[in-house]
Structure 1
Amino acid sequence: MNIQDRTSNAETDVPLMQVKGLIKEFKAGEQTIRVLNDINLTINQGEMVSIIGQSGSGKSTLMNILGCLDQASAGDYKIFGQSVNRLEPDELAKLRREHFGFIFQRYHLLGDISARDNVAVPAVYAGMDGQARSDRAEQLLADLGLADKVDNRPSQLSGGQQQRVSIARALMNGGDIILADEPTGALDSKSGNDVMQILKDLNALGHTIIMVTHDPNLAEQAERVIEIKDGYIVADYKTKNYQQTQAKPEAILDRHRKSAFSSFIDRLLEAFKMSLLAMRAHKMRTLLTMLGIIIGIASVVSVVGLGKGSQAQILTNISSLGTNTITVSDGYPYGDPRRQYNDDNLTPQDAQAVADQPYVVSVSPQINNNTSVRYRNIQEAASVKGVGKDYLDVTGETLAQGQGFDEQSILRRTQDIIIDSNAKRTFFPDNANPIGEVVLIGSVPGRVIGVLAPNTGGFGGGVDSPTLYMPYTTMMSRLIGSSYIESFVALIDDNISSSAAESAISQLMESRHGTDDFRIRNSDSIRQTIESTTAALTLLISSIAIISLIVGGIGVMNIMLVSVTERTNEIGVRMAVGARQNDIMQQFLIEAILVCILGGLLGIGLAFAIGELINRIGGDSFQVIYSPTSIIAAFLCSTLIGVVFGFLPARNAAKLDPVEALSRD
């Protein structure tokens, strides 16, 4: 129903309000209490009516029904000739915001916002333009003598001033029907007289005034008195002040109404503003509500970061074996009963045959032996490895000093050696440059030509025993007297599938040996295994962390349910001035989402702080690696929690009955 409906109906002398056979009953346990009995009533536009009766007589209940805050149990109630009995809650809200203005005995102002904003609340829900809304609110307050109080909150105003703010709010959207419930009941005599004079002036301007009071002297100041007793109308008469006005209230909304979309954005901003005010007013409760979200988000992001860091560290260590390497070792596969009959079968020629394949970049044969190494007066057990000229390329290790082996080193069986950092520390503790020094390997002398950079993983990495490297041909002929090698490592072209290369090498070796008397280890399969294992562990631990998010979400829901209970009166006020059910739901849903988003941001910040601490402790050996995907997922998860766990409290708030909500403190 819109303003034009009202105007056209008024011109054909249709009553403003018409009540026939109205009955209102309440459930009280197993009993039913009838508050209003067979009420028949007609109120015309421009009247000033007082409804009088003792406490419990049903006068306030009748006013609530007339103001569409409540509905009758039986009977018919029409406004402008149209029945409101079967209207939906949002349709009743439309009537309240476009036709009614409420003045309550206890003012019912919103304590967290200014007088101006309190007055403007009905216009927000009606879709009035923002600037026009602010200007009208200030003008109404100025007309009521509160020009210097527009920025004051209700707690900073006297009772009379708060009631004037309430009157201004009732007039914000036009207020052609003003419903005043004991408007002077909480005021001193002077303030009460001022309020009554304001109501009379409004009536003179064409506003229909319906006032509820138990004071006969106050009731007589109206033009018409309706007396109720025990739920019945026992008297309905005009006073000596009766004077029918022909004036009509100004149609405010017709001139300042915004588009549906702009109005929706305005209501969202209002909900956002009130959510922030509620969070600020209850800082500790908000923080405790966010705590579960903060811990959950921080756990998820940190765990994923730790998993990524661990995975990267392990893969870095594996990379020291070569980025894409295949190792072929002598001997039947593990578990094969033929292993007990196995003799040396792997030869340098096998390694060369593999090296000749187009998908192989380089190959390094390898032989291992443990023997005593002596330099001057220092003698220690050491690991000696025979390797090929491409050993450093295949394994990815680097030289800190000197040079590596070349083709001539292999062909001439030179007695050159490369030592690792442990060997340098063991045999040359005071010598910064051991290049050219000679050590005795068993009974074979060797000249140091290179020193490897420290290595924490891969071939020979991660051990404390000294390791020396010499050409495999030298080791075969001079140290162990064998024509066989123990293994060789092939570096595969990065453009070739490692699994395809592994299959091709296996077929080649079988064709050369006539049997599978060898074992193949693919570094890429190790990489894949580690990646899948660390991913599974990260997922497992993240799943455990997500439980804390769910617990946090339940905490948000519980706190929001408490918040709804604490702010029931505010909900009632907003419904009374025309808020739709969706408007109430949006406000509490936005608050829940804000709490979770803020908790998510703080949780991400905490995760970064934890990661920074771990990175400082771990140094270069270990670093937490943050995953943008996990951060975005955590943030979206926190928002989703706000939506899911905030929905129930928001829906409960939206379903509240306006009368019951207003009656709660």
Structure 2
Amino acid sequence: MSTAHQGVRRDAGKGPPLIELRGVARRYVMGREDDPAAVIVPALQGVSLRIEAGEYVAIIGQSGSGKSTLMNILGCLDNPSEGLFLIDGQDASELDADELAALRRERFGFIFQRYHLLPGMDAQANASLPAVYAGVSTGQRMGRAATLLAELGLGERMHHKPNELSGGQQQRVSIARALMNGGQIILADEPTGALDSASGQEMLRQLDALHAAGHTIILVTHDAKVAAHARRVIELSDGHVLRDSGTPAGHAVPQAALAMASGPGSFWAHWRGQLREALGSALGALYANRLRSSLSMLGICIGITAVVCTAALGDAARQGIEGNLGAAVASKLWVWSDASKLPPGALPRDFRPYELEAIRAIDGVQDVQGERRMMGGLRQGTQQVNGQTLAATTDTLKSNQMTLALGRDFTSADLQARAQVVVLSHRLWQDLFKGRASALGSTMLIDTTPGAAEAGMPGGAAAVPIGAALPVQVIGILKEKRDGDGDDGRSATLYLPVSTYLSKIDARPSVSSFRVMVAKGHDPAHIEAQVRHRLKALHGQQDFGLWNGDAMFRQVQQVMGIIAAIFTGVGAIALLVGGVGVMNIMLVSVSERTREIGIRMAVGARQSDVRMQFLIEAVMLCCLGGLAGLALSWLAAQGANAVQDKVTLDVSGKAVALAFAVSGGIGLLFGTLPARRAAALSPVDALARE
């Protein structure tokens, strides 16, 4: 083999032996240990022996003699019930599970009767598995595996799966795996038991070659002919050492035998390799159980779809409501003449221009807009509707978040010339012109009969009539209300330049109501308090009403937040159900793959390595379900957008990030129990499962 006999480092008997057992016993309890009726089955009783480095030992005995139990203890797969088991003078009972795993990884190589190869890996990957947990880089371990397999005559078969190899070839793969990290101590459990005679002889020649190269060979068999290849035979019967031929006289410990143990590899290389191995194993397991995995992902898919769709619906509804409502009322105050707090018979006073200027001078007030409106008839040809005429400036449409569909807005020239031009709401355009684009440039009439002009808020006064009908020309048409960029869509409204309104409809400079626009970055509640204080000082009494639109807007936002939380809770329940399903499937997977877990532990996997493997599998299962849920949500959103245009559903980047975060969290949460159960398995019990 690849390691040559390099002479003597120390003689047998000088210093601690490689392996020493002192009064080792192993008992199995059938039932609970504290139950007096429990049956105790002794497997080993008072076994004491010393094995020097470089020995070739055969442990022989009939079935039930305890030889497999002894091999499990020698290989750190099991612990004695009493007595001492020492390796290089160190008591193995003082080592925790991860330290025992390190011993198996760095000092031992196992050759099992049933080969114990992982079926989803090819020969090269199976041979290199111990190096994954030793922290060896991918290139190094795959190169060493290829070299070992080539030396064992499997150079052309290294990319074949175990089911594509003969029994003898599979056993040679297990030899390569045993030598991967050095294999100072080779434990062979009935290595020829499942082989034909020719393959069995080849196996024994391989063991002879390994011994000649300096490896310590411990062979367990019931066949005396196989045991004859060893230099020392230990015979067991009913858990006792019946005969021990002892270390051969003059045995010298080869220096190579003491240099074979591999040390710990790179920490980061270990985690990178283990992560790659866990991902590959997870994908293989999910693919091997495609139907079951798909059904498990279905629960997560439904949950994520529910969460993302409700989030998209909530966002669309919130944007629609907050967009429309925010454009109409956010950061605005309405003030009107109000006699409700005045003595009986007292009348409120209108707001004079200098009072509006006083309000405009308050820090944080962006604009003050006096509201002049008239209710009455609006005519075009033979068509007539009842609507309202509002006085407007060049900023009115923009400040109220209204957008033109056709035509133009008012200009300074229109106001200076007192032009008889108007902008129509979408509703009025439909009512009078039936939505025809030819409405632009058309002439229509505004009824200005006595009593038609009035304030739109409580406390309004009669208008000063100018004439019976005012002809005006249409210069613009507003968009229908969509996400805050059009008119309210519910009333027939006409906008007229304020200068024209004052000269043709109502010449009074005072107004009975006005709006206050709050500048960005200022608190509307604070501005409200200042407006109230200044008006009371100017009027000497509270003969006005004041309404803060921002307060209502915040209440609506709170209500929308509660509704969104309720929808999210519904989706969370679906995710919880999906998570329970994932946990159940993972527990089944642990039960079905117990032998695989035992193999990994035997070649040196730590408990943390096993936990990581099953946690990654659970997270991957949930993330795949989350990905399917995202795809389904996107399709649902596109379908909803195709059949209606009232709201636009969008699967945002935030929703994608949330979906994957929630999927990963569900995988971690519900994968923890199966992962802990897998990591807590005893290697020897796991290997015994079929």
Q: Does 1:376 align with 2:384?
A: no
Confirm or deny: 8 A CA contact 2:57 2:230 kept in the other structure. yes
Confirm or deny: 8 A CA contact 1:362 1:394 kept in the other structure. no
Residue 398 of structure 1: how far off its partner (Å): 4.3
What is aligned with 1:182? 190
SS in 2 for 1:432: helix
Give, as a single letter, the amino acid of the residue that structure 2 aligns with 1:68: C
What is aligned with 1:448? 472
Residue 31 of structure 1: how far off its partner (Å): 1.4
What is aligned with 1:127? 135
Which shifted more, 295-304 or 249-258? 249-258
Which shifted more, 581-590 or 300-309? 300-309
SS in 2 for 1:148: coil
Unaligned segments of structure 1, at least 5 residues = 1-5
Unaligned segments of structure 2, at least 5 residues = 1-7, 32-37, 450-467
Q: Structure 1 residues 66, 436: closer, same or farther in 2, change over 3 A?
A: closer
Q: What per-residue deviation string (whole Å, max 9, x for no partner) do you get for residues 586-612 of structure 1?
A: 222222233333444444444444333
Q: What per-residue deviation string (whole Å, max 9, x for no partner) do you get for residues 231-290 of structure 1?
A: 222233479x99957645466767896434333433333333323332332333333333
Q: Structure 1 residues 14, 322: closer, same or farther in 2, change over 3 A?
A: closer
What is aligned with 1:19? 21
Please, what TM-score do these two structures have when normalized by structure 2? 0.84
Residue 637 of structure 1: how far off its partner (Å): 3.2
Q: Structure 1 residues 26, 484: closer, same or farther in 2, change over 3 A?
A: same
Give, as a single letter, the amino acid of the residue that structure 2 aligns with 1:153: K
Residue 149 of structure 1: how far off its partner (Å): 0.7
Give, as a single letter, the amino acid of the residue that structure 1 aligns with 2:118: L
Q: Does 1:567 align with 2:593?
A: yes
What is aligned with 1:438? 444
Q: Of 670, 673, 683, which aligns to 1:648? A: 673
Which shifted more, 415-424 or 170-179? 415-424
Q: Does 1:71 align with 2:75?
A: no
1:366 and 1:478 map into 2 onto residues whose CA distance is 16
Q: Structure 1 residues 499, 205: closer, same or farther in 2, change over 3 A?
A: same
Q: Of 649, 662, 665, which aligns to 2:687? A: 662
What is aligned with 2:453? none
1:339 and 1:54 map into 2 onto residues whose CA distance is 115
Give, as a single letter, the amino acid of the residue that structure 2 aligns with 1:662: L
Q: Of 392, 415, 429, which aligns to 2:397? A: 392
1:302 and 1:580 map into 2 onto residues whose CA distance is 42
2:677 and 2:10 map into 1 onto residues whose CA distance is 38
What is aligned with 2:203? 195
SS in 1 for 2:76: coil
Query: For 1:210-609, what aligned pairs fall within 5 Å after superposition?
Result: 210-237=218-245, 247=254, 249=256, 258-318=265-325, 320-321=327-328, 324-331=331-338, 343=347, 345-347=349-351, 349=353, 352-353=356-357, 356-357=360-361, 359=363, 360-367=365-372, 370-380=375-385, 382-389=386-393, 391-399=396-404, 400-401=406-407, 404=410, 417-429=422-434, 432-439=438-445, 441=447, 443=449, 444-449=468-473, 450-456=475-481, 461-470=487-496, 485-494=511-520, 496-609=522-635
Identity %: 38
1:217 and 1:123 map into 2 onto residues whose CA distance is 34
Give, as a single letter, the amino acid of the residue that structure 2 aligns with 1:66: L
Confirm or deny: 8 A CA contact 2:392 2:497 kept in the other structure. yes
Q: Report the aligned-residue RMSD.
A: 3.6
Confirm or deny: 8 A CA contact 1:416 1:470 kept in the other structure. yes
Q: Structure 1 residues 340, 586: closer, same or farther in 2, change over 3 A?
A: farther
Residue 120 of structure 1: how far off its partner (Å): 1.2
Q: Structure 1 residues 33, 385: closer, same or farther in 2, change over 3 A?
A: same
1:252 and 1:339 map into 2 onto residues whose CA distance is 108
What is aligned with 2:648? 623
2:337 and 2:20 map into 1 onto residues whose CA distance is 104
Q: Structure 1 residues 203, 489: closer, same or farther in 2, change over 3 A?
A: same
Confirm or deny: 8 A CA contact 1:204 1:245 kept in the other structure. no
Give, as a single letter, the amino acid of the residue that structure 2 aligns with 1:24: R
2:51 and 2:597 map into 1 onto residues whose CA distance is 29
Query: For 1:106-117, what aligned pairs fall within 5 Å after superposition?
Result: 106-117=114-125
Confirm or deny: 8 A CA contact 1:417 1:446 kept in the other structure. no
1:275 and 1:459 map into 2 onto residues whose CA distance is 52
Confirm or deny: 8 A CA contact 2:184 2:261 kept in the other structure. no
Residue 311 of structure 1: how far off its partner (Å): 2.4
Confirm or deny: 8 A CA contact 2:423 2:494 kept in the other structure. yes
Residue 119 of structure 1: how far off its partner (Å): 1.1
2:523 and 2:277 map into 1 onto residues whose CA distance is 60
Which shifted more, 59-68 or 360-369? 360-369
Q: What per-residue deviation string (whole Å, max 9, x for no partner) do you get for residues 400-453 of structure 1?
A: 3355487986997x8765432322222233571353513252753222333331
2:554 and 2:276 map into 1 onto residues whose CA distance is 51
1:356 and 1:215 map into 2 onto residues whose CA distance is 107
2:666 and 2:12 map into 1 onto residues whose CA distance is 51
Give, as a single letter, the amino acid of the residue that structure 1 aligns with 2:676: R
Residue 650 of structure 1: how far off its partner (Å): 1.7
SS in 1 for 2:23: strand
Residue 150 of structure 1: how far off its partner (Å): 0.8
Q: Does 1:90 align with 2:94?
A: no
Confirm or deny: 8 A CA contact 1:331 1:339 kept in the other structure. no
Residue 626 of structure 1: how far off its partner (Å): 5.3
What is aligned with 1:156? 164
Confirm or deny: 8 A CA contact 2:60 2:67 kept in the other structure. yes
Confirm or deny: 8 A CA contact 2:182 2:262 kept in the other structure. no
Q: What per-residue deviation string (whole Å, max 9, x for no partner) do you get for residues 282-334 of structure 1?
A: 333333333333333343333333333322222332354377432212325xx
SS in 2 for 1:68: coil
Q: What per-residue deviation string (whole Å, max 9, x for no partner) do you get for residues 85-104 of structure 1?
A: 33222222222222221111
1:76 and 1:142 map into 2 onto residues whose CA distance is 40
Give, as a single letter, the amino acid of the residue that structure 1 aligns with 2:678: A
2:403 and 2:23 map into 1 onto residues whose CA distance is 100
SS in 2 for 1:439: strand
Confirm or deny: 8 A CA contact 1:222 1:242 kept in the other structure. no
Confirm or deny: 8 A CA contact 2:426 2:487 kept in the other structure. no
SS in 1 for 2:520: coil
Confirm or deny: 8 A CA contact 1:111 1:153 kept in the other structure. yes
Residue 220 of structure 1: how far off its partner (Å): 3.2
Give, as a single letter, the amino acid of the residue that structure 2 aligns with 1:46: G
Residue 487 of structure 1: how far off its partner (Å): 2.3
Residue 338 of structure 1: how far off its partner (Å): 6.3
Q: Structure 1 residues 556, 323: closer, same or farther in 2, change over 3 A?
A: same
Q: Structure 1 residues 236, 408: closer, same or farther in 2, change over 3 A?
A: closer
SS in 2 for 1:85: helix
Confirm or deny: 8 A CA contact 2:332 2:516 kept in the other structure. yes
1:528 and 1:485 map into 2 onto residues whose CA distance is 29
Residue 362 of structure 1: how far off its partner (Å): 4.0
What is aligned with 1:3? none
Q: Structure 1 residues 388, 507: closer, same or farther in 2, change over 3 A?
A: farther
Residue 664 of structure 1: how far off its partner (Å): 0.6
Q: Structure 1 residues 49, 210: closer, same or farther in 2, change over 3 A?
A: same
